[in-house]
């Protein structure tokens, strides 16, 4: 089933487009296929394996933050349409801002009106003070409804989770094979030779804002392996991560481009054009991605360290993802 997809992946490694990669598919009944190629680090080569930890980047949003927010709803601690000020009352000082009235749903679906990004890591390096600054900053908030992918919205969702659960995200229970704090950097795929930190990053989060905020935020920070993601995706599809009611809400299209956090098939969808209309997917800046095809009954993930040693190189990752996704769908 993965034969054509693995050929495409191996070609990308052989052409030095990406240093290393891991690919896998899992079916509803738990049967899976995996493939891996290349190295974790160019300067000290060690092979990628199904247990290699990858910096999942924005997959944190859908594999961690979205399910955790849904669990708040299941536990009666929140509703998706509650305003942010219900959980972070210190925002009430913003008398002339719409931010306190934006809802959890609007942040989850990237229609809150918040900017996409802000270089928070330039504000300082004390995580506690930075989190306070995030809540004190007068954000430029546009009218709600227009889709603009926003890391800031998910950073705020992470603060809501910490407030309601009474502990930092780094202390949340995670499924086996996931972590916010890898114990051994050698177990991880390297990412960028980061000019800000002055070193090749391996075993520490690549996202600068996440790093400055302590390494575990609502938008980034999670590390995970191929096998861990496949097992988790299978559980998610089968309704073992959140309730069936919450899963149905997570899958429901919220606007033309997204369900609850997840991308849905549109032209140029990252998972290709042959997946079923019931597919959810998401990608991460570091070269990661996961897709769940509810129509065909499988999930697949492609993990790469495409920004190693630099984000400023042509890797063909966007084309590779679609080609691999189409090859997998065509094998059914």
Question: How high is the mean pLDDT in each 10-residue block of the chain (332 residues)?
Answer: 93 97 96 97 95 99 99 99 95 81 98 97 95 93 95 99 98 98 98 97 98 98 99 96 98 97 97 98 99 97 98 96 98 88
Q: Say which residue the tokens 């861990």 belong to.
A: 228
Residue 219 token pair? 């938008």
Residue 120: what are its φ and ψ, rounded to 5°? Answer: -60, -30
Structure tokens of 86? 């219900």
What is the CATH architecture of 3-55+223-330? 3-Layer(aba) Sandwich (3.40)
**Under a CB-based contact definition with an 8 Å cutoff, are residues 163 and 87 in contact?**
yes
| Environment class of 95 (CB within 10 Å of its CB; exposed 0-12, middle 13-18, buried 19+) | exposed
84: closest CA among 166, 153, 169?
153
Per-residue pLDDT at 91: 87
CA–CA gap between residue 320 and residue 332 (Å, rounded): 19
- Are 256 and 269 contacting, i.e. CB atoms less than 8 angstroms apart? no
20 backbone dihedrals φ, ψ, rounded to 5°: -155, 160
Q: What pLDDT shows up at residue 92?
A: 78
Kindly report whether the peptide bond that precedes residue 86 is cis, defined as omega within 30 degrees of 0. Answer: no
Count CA within 13 A, CB hemisphere, residue 254: 25
Please provide the size of the chain in residues.
332
Residues 305, 53: contact at Cβ < 8 Å? no
Token pair for residue 13? 């490694």
CA distance 220 to 249: 23
Return the pLDDT at 332.
84
What's the chain's Rg over C-alpha atoms?
Answer: 19
Q: Phi/psi of residue 10, each to 5°?
A: -65, -35
Task: Give the model's pLDDT for residue 252.
Answer: 98
Cis preceding-peptide flag for 309 (omega within 30 of 0): yes
Distance CA 197, CA 2 (A): 38
H-run or E-run covering 134: helix 127-136
pLDDT of residue 93: 75
- Give the number of other CB atoms < 10 A from CB of residue 277: 10
User: Minimal CA–CA distance to 161: which of 275, 69, 255?
Assistant: 69
Rounded Cα gap, residues 137 and 320, in angstroms? 39
Helix (H, G, I), strand (E, B) or coil at 299: strand
pLDDT of 84 reads 97
């Amino acid at each position: 089933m993965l034969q054509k997809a693995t050929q495409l992946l191996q070609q990308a490694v052989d052409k030095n487009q990406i240093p290393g990669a891991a690919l896998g598919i899992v079916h509803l009944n738990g049967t899976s296929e995996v493939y891996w190629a290349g190295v974790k680090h160019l300067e000290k080569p060690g092979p990628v394996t199904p247990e290699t930890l990858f910096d999942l980047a924005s997959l944190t949003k859908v594999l961690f933050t979205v399910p955790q927010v849904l669990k708040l709803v299941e536990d009666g601690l929140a509703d998706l349409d509650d305003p942010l000020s219900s959980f972070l009352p210190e925002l009430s000082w913003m008398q002339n801002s719409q931010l306190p009235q934006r809802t959890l749903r609007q942040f989850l679906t990237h229609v809150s009106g918040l900017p996409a990004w802000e270089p928070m890591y330039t504000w300082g390096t004390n995580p506690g003070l930075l989190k306070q600054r995030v809540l004190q900053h007068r954000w430029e908030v546009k009218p709600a409804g227009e889709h603009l992918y926003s890391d800031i919205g998910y950073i705020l969702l992470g603060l809501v989770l910490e407030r309601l659960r009474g502990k930092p995200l780094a202390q949340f229970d995670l499924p086996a094979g996931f972590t916010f704090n890898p114990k051994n950097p050698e177990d991880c795929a390297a990412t960028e030779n980061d000019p800000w930190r002055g070193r090749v990053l391996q075993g520490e989060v690549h996202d600068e804002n996440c790093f400055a905020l302590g390494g575990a935020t609502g938008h980034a920070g999670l590390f995970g392996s191929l096998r861990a993601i496949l097992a988790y995706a299978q559980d998610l599809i089968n309704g073992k991560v959140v309730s069936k009611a919450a899963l149905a809400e997570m899958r429901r299209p919220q606007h033309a481009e997204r369900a609850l956090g997840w991308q849905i098939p549109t032209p140029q969808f990252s998972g290709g054009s042959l997946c079923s209309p019931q597919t959810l997917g998401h990608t991460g800046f570091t070269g990661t991605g996961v897709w769940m095809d509810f129509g065909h009954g499988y999930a697949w993930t492609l993990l790469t360290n495409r920004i190693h040693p630099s984000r400023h190189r042509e890797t063909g990752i966007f084309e590779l993802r679609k080609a691999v996704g189409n090859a997998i769908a065509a094998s059914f």
